[in-house]
């Protein structure tokens, strides 16, 4: 069965801009809702082993909640996803200052005070999805260069594919991801500590107390960070490993196994044993931020009317490494005129009997 697409009104910004809701559905029973504010994945509905559908991403009930209380739920994150130390970087001998919106202003995170998660994107409907476009002007949030970005969501056979594409007219840095929190038992149903995670990474990047990588690529072997054999997310989350203590759980970048630097390869599989729902994740990116929802504190009411407490969802944010602009040994995030940024991530949903 072919994918169907539908667009409808979702709300209006204070300046009068209309926000749209785009719904994708395919023959597998998977349905996806995307809003043009922040390019947010507002819902992904998938069947369990009995055929009962549930929304498996955390979200907020309406546009005003996303505008005023968002924790990046489901959003396109950029220009630079994750953290940049010192809220600045240097390209070709020139230093650029960014908004310090992390660690008391010491660092930058997720694109700044008004990042891509808070911008209105222009939608173009496709036969099996939607392409979202945003043009970021030179100097926005301190980043150099006019940046034209297209993020395309397509749905086929239970797999949600996200393609990122960008060009610039000045040398800049770029790191794009989607910041969805998943709970395969259904959003608002409880914590995700019983979800079983397989993550094919031999190393991770330890951080300081503010989440900035130290520069080390540490082996996962013999640590709570080793998910090379599937294990429950909560099995070792209370261990006294220094990095677990620093992150208050998992909030770290993993160095993915790659057969080639830009190969689209599966790196993670998550299984929720009660519902039978599964999710396999593939990416062309070199890293992924695995986050166990440590900062969810009961202050937000989700899409289904339930409170989100600690570990109500987990993130697998495919990315280049945090603070790469200031870590020359990390894979480069510099984009220059005449080059094209291209990245793909696929979330494939299934069910076990």
339 classed as catalytic: no
- Break the chain down into helix, strand, coil percent, rounded to 5: 10, 45, 50
Token pair listed for 103: 């660690």
Beta strands at 94-97 and 218-219: parallel, antiparallel or unpaired:
unpaired
Spatial separation of the C-alpha atoms in residues 235 and 26, rounded to whole Å: 35
Measured CA to CA, the distance from residue 266 to residue 350 in angstroms comes to 14
Residue 98 CA to residue 139 CA, distance in Å, equals: 9
Catalytic-role residue among 140, 141, 179, 285: 179
320 annotated active-site: no
Q: What are phi and psi of 142, to 5 degrees?
A: 90, -5
Q: Longest C-alpha distance within the chain, in Å?
A: 59
CA distance 335 to 175: 10
**3-state per-residue secondary structure call for 26-62:** CCCCCEEEEECECCEEEEEEEECCCCCEEECECCCCC
The two three-digit tokens of residue 249, written as one number: 């759980």
DSSP state at residue 340: -
**Which of 187, 272, 317, 320 does the annotation list as catalytic?**
317
Task: Report CA 335 to chain centroid distance, whole Å.
Answer: 20
Q: What is the 3-state secondary structure (H, E, C) of 239-297?
A: CCCHHHHHHCCCEEEEEECCCCCCCCEEEEEEECCCCCEEEEEEECCCEEEEECCCCCC
Question: For the chain, how many residues are written?
Answer: 353
Give the integer Cα–Cα distance in Å for 210 and 105.
Answer: 11
User: Which residues are annotated as catalytic?
Assistant: 179, 317
């Amino acid at each position: 069965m072919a994918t169907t697409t539908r667009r409808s009104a979702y709300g209006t910004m204070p300046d009068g801009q209309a926000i749209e809701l785009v719904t994708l559905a395919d023959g597998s029973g998977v349905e996806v809702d995307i809003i043009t504010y922040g390019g947010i994945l507002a819902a992904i509905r998938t069947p369990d082993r009995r055929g009962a559908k549930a929304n498996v991403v955390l979200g907020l009930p309406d546009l005003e909640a996303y505008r005023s209380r968002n924790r990046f739920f489901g959003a396109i994150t950029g220009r630079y996803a994750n953290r940049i130390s010192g809220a600045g970087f240097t390209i070709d001998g020139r230093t650029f200052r960014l908004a310090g919106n992390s660690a008391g202003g010491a660092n930058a995170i997720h694109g700044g005070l008004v990042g891509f998660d808070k911008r209105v994107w222009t939608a173009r409907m496709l036969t099996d999805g939607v392409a979202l476009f945003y043009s970021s002007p030179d100097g926005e949030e301190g980043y150099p260069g006019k940046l034209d970005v297209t993020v395309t969501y397509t749905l086929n056979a239970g797999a949600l594919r996200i393609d990122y594409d960008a060009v610039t007219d000045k040398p800049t840095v770029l790191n794009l991801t989607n910041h969805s929190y998943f709970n395969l038992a259904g959003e608002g149903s409880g914590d995700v500590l019983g979800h079983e995670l397989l993550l094919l990474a031999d190393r991770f990047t330890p951080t300081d107390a503010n989440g900035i990588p130290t520069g080390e690529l540490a082996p996962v072997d013999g640590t709570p960070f080793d998910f090379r054999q599937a294990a429950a997310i909560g099995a070792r989350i209370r261990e006294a490993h220094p990095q677990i203590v620093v992150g208050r759980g998992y909030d770290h970048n993993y160095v993915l196994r790659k057969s080639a630097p830009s190969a689209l390869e599966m790196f993670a599989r998550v299984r929720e044993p009660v519902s039978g729902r599964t999710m396999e994740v593939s990416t062309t990116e070199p890293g992924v931020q695995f986050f166990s929802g440590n900062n969810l504190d009961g202050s937000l009411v989700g899409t289904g009317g339930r409170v989100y407490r600690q570990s109500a969802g987990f993130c697998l944010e495919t990315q280049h490494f945090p603070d790469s602009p200031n870590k020359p040994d990390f894979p480069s995030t510099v984009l220059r005129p005449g080059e094209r940024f291209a990245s793909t991530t696929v979330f494939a949903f299934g069910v076990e009997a």
